[in-house]
Amino acid sequence: MDIKAIRADFPLLEQEVNGFPLVYLDSAATAQKPNRVIEAVNSYYRMDNANVHRGVHTIGTRATEQYENARDRVKQFIHAEHREEIIFTRGTTTAINLVASSYGSQHIQRDDEIVITQMEHHSNLIPWQQLSKRTGATLKYIPLESDGTISLAEVEKIVTHKTKIVAITQVSNVLGTINPIKEIAEIVHRHDAVLLVDGAQGVPHLQVDVQDLNCDFYAFSGHKMCAPTGIGVLYGKKALLEQMEPVEFGGEMIDFVDLYDSTWKDLPWKFEGGTPIIAGAIGLAAAIDYLTEIGLDQIALHERELVDYAIEQLKLIDGIDIYGPEHRAGLITFNIADVHPHDTATVLDAEGIAVRAGHHCAQPLMKWLGVTATARASFYLYNTKQDVDRFVAGLQKTKEFFTNVF
Ligand code: C6P
């Protein structure tokens, strides 16, 4: 991978922050956007801006073609079988809520079981908590092993004939754990339940093949994979989506409306009520083209090298706790002893280094870790070993600063 050329694609990275060249280590929160994506959105608004699926005019036809072409690009990217299986949403959160509201309300009743894990982001936890409260179904947690992984033996124990849905993240946004989705799918299907995968931290970094994973639903956000904010995807197996009722009603999603009853469009449009996120979908297609040309395998390899290099050096600094398993995705969650993670992030920011601090929308996981918050550095295709060096030097400075002050 030609990192120099890749960095030149991302205009935001060229700036100085607080007098230092920016080191952006917060891509798990949101990734930066390459010129390809910025230009695709820009070009749509400058030349092709019109509503979709409505007009017969030329610009409207162009907008519709680009929007529906984006659906085909997503289908190829995640290896879905049918284009109707790709529903555009606002992001991962909206996609998971759609399944919990629609599939959940139709299929889950009192005495059924919903299974998740304690490493879930709030977006893949609260919708199930709410569904369990609404229906009286039991919410069960697959326990975590001491290194922050889950064992298939525990999945076998927790999933029973009462289980109706299992919802699990592919990659933890805190621990970096990569879960064995294919094996979990096999257990879930043996019990006639369905599997939803939260792919928010998966799809930006790993080659995803939803047919090979054999998941029933897969949710992700564009903004973590170099696309604009406000666009995301729900993949669902056609047979399941066909039975599901829409959760948003109004324009775009209807077939015929009468005074006291209405009918819906076919898939995928019955789930896309209102004017869709046209520019977002076009930006997502550009991001897919960009990442595909570089190669997801190459990106994963590069992140792996950066994480290994960073961990090697962090281990040399006394008093740094690193959370998560040995084999992890491209992020490191940590704390410096006796320093609040917000203070760590503030000192790093003064050096032009952006990391995230807080509970990372995973409070039950913080509880399991026995902390209220952590700091997190997350890497992507545009990060370099020099970024890691600056980060490590910044941590050393943070430690010295707080040792001298207190
Ligand atoms: N995690 C992070 O800094 P939305 O906000 O809908 O695009 O994505 C929600 C979401 C769901 N699942 C996982 C595993 C996630 O990591 C996220 C978003 C960001 O870790 C923002 S909290």
Residue nearest (by alpha carbon) to ligand 1 atom 5: 93
Share of residues in the chain with pLDDT > 90 (%) = 97
pLDDT in tens, 358-372: 999 999 999 999 999
226 is catalytic: no
Task: Kindly indicate the confidence band of residue 404, based on its pLDDT and cuts at 50, 70 and 90.
Answer: confident
Candidate list 8, 361, 366, 371, residue with the active-site label: 361
What's the confidence (pLDDT) of residue 405?
A: 63
What's the confidence (pLDDT) of residue 17?
A: 98
CA of 121 to the centre of ligand 1 (A): 7
What's the confidence (pLDDT) of residue 54?
A: 84
Task: Kindly indicate the confidence band of residue 184, based on its pLDDT and cuts at 50, 70 and 90.
Answer: very high
What mean pLDDT is predicted for residues 106-135?
98
What's the confidence (pLDDT) of residue 87?
A: 98
CA of 91 to the centre of ligand 1 (A): 9
- What's the chain look like in SS3? CCHHHHHHCCHHHHCEECCEECEECECCCCCCCCHHHHHHHHHHHHHHCCCCCCCCCHHHHHHHHHHHHHHHHHHHHHCCCCHHHEEEECCHHHHHHHHHHHHHHHHCCCCCEEEEECCCCHHHCHHHHHHHHHHCCEEEEECCCCCCCCCHHHHHHHCCCCEEEEEEECECCCCCCECCHHHHHHHHHHCCCEEEEECCCCCCCCCCCHHHHCCCEEEEEHHHHCCCCCCEEEEECHHHHHHCCCCCCCCCCEEEECCCCEEECCCCHHHCCCCCCHHHHHHHHHHHHHHHHHCHHHHHHHHHHHHHHHHHHHCCCCCEEEECCCCCCCEEEEEECCCCHHHHHHHHHHCCEECEEECCCCHHHHHHHCCCCEEEEECCCCCCHHHHHHHHHHHHHHHHHHHHHC
Task: Kindly indicate the confidence band of residue 10, based on its pLDDT and cuts at 50, 70 and 90.
Answer: very high
Q: Residue 229 pLDDT more than 70?
A: yes
What's the confidence (pLDDT) of residue 395?
A: 97
Kindly report the average pLDDT of the chain as a whole number: 97
Q: Residue 92 pLDDT more than 90?
A: yes
Task: Kindly indicate the confidence band of residue 393, based on its pLDDT and cuts at 50, 70 and 90.
Answer: very high
What mean pLDDT is predicted for residues 156-167?
98
Q: Which ligand 1 atom is at minimum distance from the Cα of 223?
A: 7
Task: Look at 120-134, 373-387, 391-405 and tell me which has the smallest mean pLDDT.
Answer: 391-405
Q: Residue 161 pLDDT more than 70?
A: yes
Share of residues in the chain with pLDDT > 70 (%) = 100
CA of 30 to the centre of ligand 1 (A): 9
Residues at CB less than 6 angstroms from ligand 1: 28-29, 91-93, 121, 123-124, 169, 173, 198, 200-201, 221, 356, 360-361
Question: Which residue of 123, 277, 376 sits with most ligand 1 atoms within 8 Å of its CB, as the best mutation to test the pocket?
Answer: 123
pLDDT in tens, 254-289: 999 999 999 999 999 999 999 999 999 999 999 999
Residue nearest (by alpha carbon) to ligand 1 atom 16: 173
Residue nearest (by alpha carbon) to ligand 1 atom 3: 29
Task: Kindly indicate the confidence band of residue 293, based on its pLDDT and cuts at 50, 70 and 90.
Answer: very high
CA of 41 to the centre of ligand 1 (A): 23
What's the confidence (pLDDT) of residue 406?
A: 56
What's the confidence (pLDDT) of residue 55?
A: 75
Task: Kindly indicate the confidence band of residue 56, based on its pLDDT and cuts at 50, 70 and 90.
Answer: confident
pLDDT in tens, 308-347: 999 999 999 999 999 999 999 999 999 999 999 999 999 9
